[in-house]
Amino acid sequence: MYFDPRPKNQKEDLYNRQRELKQFTEAVTHSPLIVITGLRRTGKTSFLNVAMIQSNQPHTTLDLRGLPYNPSRADIIRRLNSAFNKIDHQWFSKLSDALKHLRGISILGNEISFDWGKDGIDLPELFAEIDAWAGKEKKHFLMAFDEIQLVRGDKWIPQFFAHVADTYRNVTLILTGSECGMMFDFLDFDNPNAPLFGRDYVQIQMVNFTTQQAEDFLTKGFQQIGVEASPKVVSYAVQNLDGIAGWLTLFGSRCQTKHSSSEALVDEVVFEAGKLAREEAVKLTAISKRYGLALNYLAGVGQAGWGQIKAGIEANEGHAITNAAASKILNTLVKVAFIQKIEEKYSITDPLMVKGIKEEPLPQ
């Protein structure tokens, strides 16, 4: 069902990602590293879930949400332990048999336990055994890390990824991230001194729906839930919710709850989505109020050049700031995908974030 707000697990619930699914399936057989990128709410987790199930390969996902900026080895292993206990039963029994002799692993019934202490499980040893097992099964083990940018504070993780990519031919790492710039800064693919420099990887990008696709998504979604929606309401929703899958799904879900559709309900969702998008930006203002100043300014003017935004920040603060300080603010906002730069002009990426900020300016 298209309007289910939870991450999708079935191909029929995932709208218009056939090209990306084909790209994923082909990449699994030859690439040690797959990187899934996209702006917030473009459906990366849903795509990841469906793609791994469709691959018919043993797989699991490590959800990194809620971890500290610089997680410890123990933090990661605890999450890894949880991920391994979610491996499908058709693979779990065979894999656990292959791992049970390793130091730091204990198995009781259908549950595996990793010792995350200093003398506990050794990650390279663990993945070497997984690689050997997958080779015997003539399979590729898919290990996904969802929202990898959330743990970008330490380089031991890219170093470990590089080791896996270089060493194990039957293990494929899959990384997803919303904050594309930050994610690539963390992985540092273009830095000759970084662990992952020169490594082969396949990038799959989740893009927003076109106007036609958004209209088709809503029309078919309403048919699935048995709710009437006039072409006028669908057009109004597409116009105001843009082509962002998450916001369109939220609207459809609200219509399902209300058993009706209307322009007024679109407006309600626009308001709610704007507040949600604004709350994401609020987190940055805790680091520096200048992020709020820049976003408030762009929400008001629509788009502006570097000098105009710098002048706007200065006018609010009542004093000059350095060029380096202004560039740092804007570069960070681009990296976290809050703003985009097109032909030397900056603008806020998500139109609903603009609405949310206009409704309630960010702290400054």
Its domain, for residue 60, covers 17-206
295 and 164 share one domain: no
27 and 101 share one domain: yes
183 and 234 share one domain: no
Residue-wise pLDDT for 275-320, tens only, equals 989 998 998 898 899 999 999 999 999 999 999 999 999 999 999 9
Domain containing 256 — which CATH number? 1.10.8
- The answer as to whether 5 is a domain residue is no
> Which tokens is 221 given?
């979604």
Q: CA 3, CA 326: separation in Å to the nearest integer?
A: 41
- The answer as to whether 230 is a domain residue is yes
Whole-number pLDDT of residue 154: 63
**19 contact partners, CB below 8 Å, separation of at least 6:** none
- The answer as to whether 6 is a domain residue is no
Whole-number pLDDT of residue 153: 60
In 3D space, the residue among 257, 325, 258, 265 whose CA is nearest the CA of residue 291 turns out to be: 325
277, 309, 328 - which closes a domain = 277
Whole-number pLDDT of residue 283: 84
- The answer as to whether 224 is a domain residue is yes
Q: Provide the percentage of residues in the chain whose pLDDT is more than 90.
A: 75
**47 contact partners, CB below 8 Å, separation of at least 6:** 14, 17, 20, 21, 36, 204, 206
Q: Which residues of 28-67 are buried (b: 16+ CB within 10 A; e: fewer)?
A: beebbbbbbbbbbbbbbbbbbbbbbeebebbbbbbbbeeb
Residue-wise pLDDT for 194-228, tens only, equals 888 888 899 999 989 999 999 999 999 999 999 99
In 3D space, the residue among 231, 37, 42 whose CA is nearest the CA of residue 146 turns out to be: 37
- Number of structural domains in the chain: 3
Domain containing 300 — which CATH number? 1.10.10.10
- The answer as to whether 336 is a domain residue is yes
Q: CA 360, CA 364: separation in Å to the nearest integer?
A: 12
CA angle 308/309/312 to nearest 5° reads: 90
268 and 221 share one domain: yes
93 and 141 share one domain: yes
27 and 91 share one domain: yes
271 and 286 share one domain: no
DSSP helix, strand, coil percent of the chain (3-state; round to 5): 55, 15, 35
Whole-number pLDDT of residue 362: 95
In 3D space, the residue among 38, 44, 63, 51 whose CA is nearest the CA of residue 10 turns out to be: 51
Handedness of CA 213, 216, 220, 225 (dihedral sign): positive
Whole-number pLDDT of residue 182: 74
Domain containing 28 — which CATH number? 3.40.50.300
Give the CB-side neighbour count of residue 350, counting CA atoms within 13 A: 31
The secondary structure of 286-316, three-state, reads CCCHHHHHHHHHHHHHCEECHHHHHHHHHHH
Q: CA 175, CA 101: separation in Å to the nearest integer?
A: 29
DSSP state of 349: S
Residue-wise pLDDT for 30-63, tens only, equals 999 999 998 888 999 999 999 999 999 999 999 8
Going by pLDDT thresholds of 50, 70 and 90, the confidence category of residue 358 is very high
206, 223, 254 - which closes a domain = 206
157 and 23 share one domain: yes
Q: CA 89, CA 72: separation in Å to the nearest integer?
A: 29
Residue-wise pLDDT for 143-174, tens only, equals 999 988 777 666 788 899 999 999 999 999 99
Whole-number pLDDT of residue 96: 93
Q: How many CB atoms lie within 10 A of CB 132?
A: 13
- The answer as to whether 123 is a domain residue is yes
Our measurement of the distance from residue 127's CA atom to the centroid of its chain's CA atoms, rounded to an integer in Å, reads 24
How many residues make up the chain in this entry? Answer: 364
Q: CA 34, CA 45: separation in Å to the nearest integer?
A: 14
- The answer as to whether 4 is a domain residue is no
158 and 298 share one domain: no
- The answer as to whether 3 is a domain residue is no
47 and 136 share one domain: yes
237 and 350 share one domain: no
Q: CA 59, CA 49: separation in Å to the nearest integer?
A: 10
- pLDDT for residue 264 is more than 90: yes
217 and 201 share one domain: no
Decide if 40 contacts 233 (C-beta within 8 A): no
Residue-wise pLDDT for 318-338, tens only, equals 999 999 999 999 999 998 889
148, 175, 206 - which closes a domain = 206
In 3D space, the residue among 332, 320, 322 whose CA is nearest the CA of residue 291 turns out to be: 332
In 3D space, the residue among 120, 116, 117 whose CA is nearest the CA of residue 103 turns out to be: 120
